């Protein structure tokens, strides 16, 4: 057997063995009939399942079970006044929970299933936990397009409350391993399973539109843009801080990495990370750099946003410098998330 000289070297430090995974670490399952059946049983028992959607991974629980909804809040460390989105299979399932007017019906016909959440008046007999609405008389509802999310909703045969599967204020997850990183202990042992559906195609949360007033109110921008909404619904107002927290994602400090974020960067420090957009060959410096889209594609940038923010959020760096992103189309949603990531922590 060849002699290994390092074994005789008293100054050699062998790598310590990796610590064992936490006993409550959630299991990652590939999608399929057996996985859907097990996940449905997990939800029925009041526990949580992470599921992929076309936007980001969601932390799903039975929306009619107070304990399950409370477990979502507890796992995320989420402020109690921030409502949760309820995910349903189709328009008929939504109509059992909320009042659907002509505007909502047109929006559902156009964008459901898909990345549009509608805030609508809650039905008095809606079989939902009051915690879902965080004390409001409205419900945010969405029918996701991702086949794994749809299969899980049908298998569970119930509406699912499913905010993004991350600790509140952290960057949203777009891969199964992001969820594992966020909840290595299973969110206090309540997150039992992660259904692995690959990387999320869109990569930013759904557009949220409030249809409870006389005019539609855009609460959170997303991949369904204001211009697209107005082509179907007429004029759409944009929410301000004065509108209060009516829906998920409206807290000022949200989607935030641990490092401070500096926007509209035209220079980068030697100890900063750079989140670039488009050709960045004229920028020098930076300890590490990633590019949302080398050719300036906003769709590609949105899909990369949260994963790259996570990858750049490294100990030992002074911050993350972010190059300007055009404030048009999907860039509006990207800039909204970046402003929240850069805002003072709340």
Binding residues for ATP, as ranges, are 78, 82, 138, 164, 172, 220, 255
Query: Per this entry, what is the length of the chain?
Result: 346
Quick check: 226 and 238 in contact, CB under 8 A? yes
d(CA 112, CA 29): 27
Q: Which residue has the tokens 């076309």?
A: 54
Question: Which residues contribute to the annotated binding site?
Answer: 55, 78, 82, 87, 138, 142, 162, 164, 172, 206, 220, 255
Q: Which run of H or of E encompasses 187? A: helix 186-189
- Helix, strand and coil content of the chain, in percent to the nearest 5, comes to 30, 20, 50
CA-only gyration radius of the chain, Å: 21
How far are the Cα atoms of 52, 72, 184, 269, 274 from residue 43, in angstroms, in the given order?
15, 12, 19, 47, 40
252: left (phi over 0), alpha (psi -120 to 50) or beta: alpha
Quick check: 166 and 251 in contact, CB under 8 A? no
Question: Which residues contribute to the annotated binding site for L-threonine?
Answer: 55, 87, 142, 162, 206
Query: Cis peptide leading into 113, omega within 30 of 0?
Result: yes
| Phi/psi at 58 (5° precision) | -110, 150
- Provide the token pair at 23: 């006993």
d(CA 329, CA 221): 10
């Amino acid at each position: 057997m060849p002699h290994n000289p390092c074994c005789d070297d008293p100054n050699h430090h062998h790598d310590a063995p990796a610590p064992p995974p936490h006993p409550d670490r959630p299991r990652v399952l590939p999608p399929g009939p057996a996985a859907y059946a097990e996940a449905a049983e997990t939800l029925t028992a009041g526990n949580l399942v992470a599921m992929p959607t076309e936007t980001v991974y969601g932390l799903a629980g039975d929306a009619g079970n107070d304990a399950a909804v409370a477990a979502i809040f507890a796992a995320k460390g989420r402020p109690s006044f921030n409502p949760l989105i309820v995910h349903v299979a189709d328009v008929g399932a939504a109509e059992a929970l909320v009042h659907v007017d002509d505007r909502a019906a047109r929006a559902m016909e156009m964008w459901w299933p898909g990345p549009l959440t509608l805030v609508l008046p809650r039905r008095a007999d809606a079989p939902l936990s009051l915690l879902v609405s965080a004390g409001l008389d409205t419900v945010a509802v969405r029918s996701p397009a991702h086949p794994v999310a749809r299969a899980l909703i049908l298998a569970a045969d119930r509406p699912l409350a499913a905010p993004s599967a991350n600790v509140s204020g952290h960057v949203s997850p777009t891969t199964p391993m992001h969820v594992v990183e966020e909840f290595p202990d299973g969110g206090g042992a309540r997150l039992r399973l992660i259904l692995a559906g690959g990387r999320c195609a869109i990569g930013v949360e759904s557009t949220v539109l409030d249809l409870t007033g006389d005019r539609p109110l855009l609460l959170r921008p997303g991949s369904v843009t204001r211009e697209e909404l107005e082509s179907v619904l007429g004029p759409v107002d944009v929410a301000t801080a004065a509108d209060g927290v009516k829906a998920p994602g409206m807290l000022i400090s949200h989607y935030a990495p641990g490092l401070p974020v500096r926007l509209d960067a035209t220079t980068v420090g030697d100890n900063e990370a750079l989140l670039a957009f488009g050709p960045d060959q004229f920028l020098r410096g930076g300890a590490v750099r990633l590019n949302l889209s080398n050719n300036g594609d906003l769709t590609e940038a949105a899909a990369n946003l949260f994963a790259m923010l996570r990858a750049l959020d490294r100990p030992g760096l002074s911050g993350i410098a972010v190059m300007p992103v055009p404030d048009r189309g999907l860039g509006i949603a990207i800039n909204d998330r970046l402003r929240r990531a850069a805002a003072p922590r709340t």
